[in-house]
């Protein structure tokens, strides 16, 4: 079963998974499939399938170090493929960032935010990171992160992560939902905390509504 971030984040694609696998193998040739599974964040069975596919395509060479230990080595074709995947991924991130930045401008410009404004971001995915960078670009410095689950002391971009059920509405000018999925559940949680609908900022909802009406 895929993780929540896998399901929500379009930057996590099959090509990105290949890039992760190739990078992990290059960093640690003696890595086990279980370790790969944990590091890449996918099921062990899928890890086995992807690894076999990369071997079959000539990107990874497998050698037997001992009766129960294998070594994985990138072939010259594997190095070349990894560089190609890296280039494509960086470009997709840059393109995506440009779209997010324009969306932020379109939605935040009428809100008269300034350097003194304080923003809460609900989400800690790669999309949330792009939203954070976009907000910083328009001069906003006071930004906090929240998740719909216990953070257990974790941090995101160096900042502590709070639980959405602890948000204090009066402390924030806007609460940004950084998610590609329907925000309805998160909006309900925010409303239960007293966050007004005029404080909540979502993305792409207008596009979704237009698509449904066609």
Q: At what angle do helices 76-108 and 14-27 cross, to 10 degrees?
A: 130
pLDDT the model gives residue 103: 73
pLDDT the model gives residue 204: 62
Residues 67 and 128 grouped into a single domain: no
Residues 189 and 119 grouped into a single domain: yes
40 vs 4, more confident:
40
Enter the pTM of the model.
Answer: 0.56
| Percent above pLDDT 70 for the chain | 87
pLDDT the model gives residue 3: 42
pLDDT the model gives residue 11: 58
52-91: per-residue pLDDT in tens?
Answer: 999 999 999 999 888 778 899 999 999 999 999 999 888 8
The CATH number of the domain where 82 resides is what? 1.10.10.10
The CATH number of the domain where 191 resides is what? 3.40.50.20
101 vs 154, more confident:
154
Cβ atoms of 8 and 180 closer than 8 Å: yes
116-140: per-residue pLDDT in tens?
Answer: 889 999 988 878 888 888 788 888 8
Cβ atoms of 77 and 60 closer than 8 Å: no
Domain presence at residue 192? yes
pLDDT at 2 over 80: no
pLDDT at 27 over 90: yes
Domain presence at residue 100? no
Domain presence at residue 174? yes
Q: What average pLDDT does the chain have?
A: 83
Q: At what angle do helices 76-108 and 126-137 cross, to 10 degrees?
A: 50
Domain with 170, as residue range(s), is 112-213
**Which strand (E) or helix (H) includes residue 28?**
none
pLDDT the model gives residue 212: 41
pLDDT at 1 over 60: no
Confidence tier at 184 by pLDDT (50, 70, 90) = confident
| Nearest-angstrom CA–CA distance, 192 and 185 | 11
Domain presence at residue 74? yes
**Which strand (E) or helix (H) includes residue 124?**
none
pLDDT the model gives residue 207: 44
Residues 86 and 165 grouped into a single domain: no
Report CA Rg, the chain: 21
pLDDT the model gives residue 102: 81
| Nearest-angstrom CA–CA distance, 105 and 137 | 10
Residues 116 and 70 grouped into a single domain: no
Residues 123 and 66 grouped into a single domain: no
């Amino acid at each position: 079963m895929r993780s929540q971030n896998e399901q929500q984040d379009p930057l996590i694609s099959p090509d990105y998974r290949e890039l992760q696998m190739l990078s992990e193998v290059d960093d640690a040739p003696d890595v086990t499939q279980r370790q790969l599974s944990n590091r890449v964040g996918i099921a062990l069975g899928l890890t086995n399938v992807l690894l076999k596919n990369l071997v079959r395509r000539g990107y990874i060479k497998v050698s037997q170090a001992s009766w129960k230990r294998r070594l994985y080595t990138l072939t010259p074709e594997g190095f070349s493929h990894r560089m190609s995947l890296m280039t494509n991924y960086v470009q997709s991130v840059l393109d995506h960032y440009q779209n997010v930045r324009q969306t932020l401008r379109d939605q935040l410009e009428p809100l008269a935010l300034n350097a003194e404004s304080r923003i809460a971001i609900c989400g800690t995915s790669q999309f949330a990171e792009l939203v954070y960078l976009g907000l910083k670009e328009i001069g906003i410095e006071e930004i906090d992160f929240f998740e719909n689950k216990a953070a257990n002391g974790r941090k995101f971009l160096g900042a502590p992560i709070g639980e959405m059920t602890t948000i204090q509405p009066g402390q924030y000018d806007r609460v940004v939902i950084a998610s590609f999925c329907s925000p309805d559940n998160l909006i309900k949680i925010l409303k239960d905390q007293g966050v007004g609908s005029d404080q909540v900022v979502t993305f792409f909802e207008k596009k979704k509504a237009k698509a449904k009406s066609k």
